[in-house]
A = this chain, B = another copy of it.
Amino acid sequence: VRLATILEASGPVVAVVRGERVLAADLPAPELRSIVGLAGAGPAGLDLVRAWADAQPAGAWRPLAEVVLGPAVAHPGAIYTIGLNYRAPGEAPGSGPDRPLVYGKAATSVGAPGGVLDWDRSVTDDVDAEVELGVVIGQAAFAVAPEDALRHVFGYTIVNDVSARDPHLDGDQWLLGKSLPGFCPVGPWVVTPDELDPADLRLGCTINGEAIQDGRTSDMRFGVAEIVAFLSRHLVLRPGDLIATGTPARLATPPGPGRRLRPGDTVTARIEGIGELTTSIG
């Protein structure tokens, strides 16, 4: 099932997406009206949403173009990002990190698909975009083995891990350079694992139609199960926590000043089997 979060007058609510149509999941149980709530409810929660959607009349479904999408995960409890997780073309075997490198990104940085990203340029004027496969945690995970880890995955989405590159915000201060409001566009929706195997998906990013990244998730050093298991050895993962699993190599490295995001740019992050996540730079 594909689950978006749409913005209604009453606030964000989960919606089922089928093709070009969408149905707000106005379920009587408020805890099932958010991705975080659904993620914690386990398979029974998803079954309920599916059955409920099947029972609605065709006229209840609206065209996608008529709703406003919010961040696919409206209020994640935490966002973790994995650094240097894609093998570069031609790199020597064994040259990367020997375990996932984990950084935080403020949970308040989520942004909506199709949104406008604007920020105070006196904080940073050197910002770039990164397409990443986003993993949404389902039932809480602590100290799970890699072979059990995928049972704690609620679904997959696209994350644009917008990051400042100023020397004083990169490196040690990565958290700060990744956490401005809107620096984590996420969506357009969450696809549950029964519909998507994340092992070998094409993913890429364009700015104004020009490709800046074009890779495959099979080039990850650490796959989804290893990342979830590794993180869960060190901290408790909660329903709806979001993990951005790293970004593929850039087509032009080092990224020149022309790759910095500028007002008027349109950034599109794409992952096969999920869709497109577009952000306009304000």
| A contacts, CB < 8 Å to B | 77-78, 80, 83, 99, 101-104, 106-109, 120, 123, 142-143, 168-169, 172-173, 175-177, 179-181, 231, 233-236, 238
* A-B complex: 7 closest residue pairs judged by Cβ atoms: A104-B104, A179-B235, A108-B236, A106-B235, A176-B234, A104-B175, A102-B176
* Chain B residues near A107 (CB-CB < 8 A): 77-78
Interchain CB contact under 8 A, A175 and B102: yes
The residue that A176 contacts in the complex, of B123, B176, B235, with Cβ under 8 A, is B235
* Chain B residues near A108 (CB-CB < 8 A): 78, 235-236, 238
The residue that A120 contacts in the complex, of B101, B143, B172, B179, with Cβ under 8 A, is B143
A83: nearest chain-B partner, CB-CB: B172
Q: How far is the CA of A109 from the CA of B142 in the complex (A)?
A: 12
Interchain CB contact under 8 A, A168 and B234: no
A13 to chain B, nearest CB (A): 21
* Chain B residues near A180 (CB-CB < 8 A): 234-235
* Chain B residues near A236 (CB-CB < 8 A): 106, 108, 181
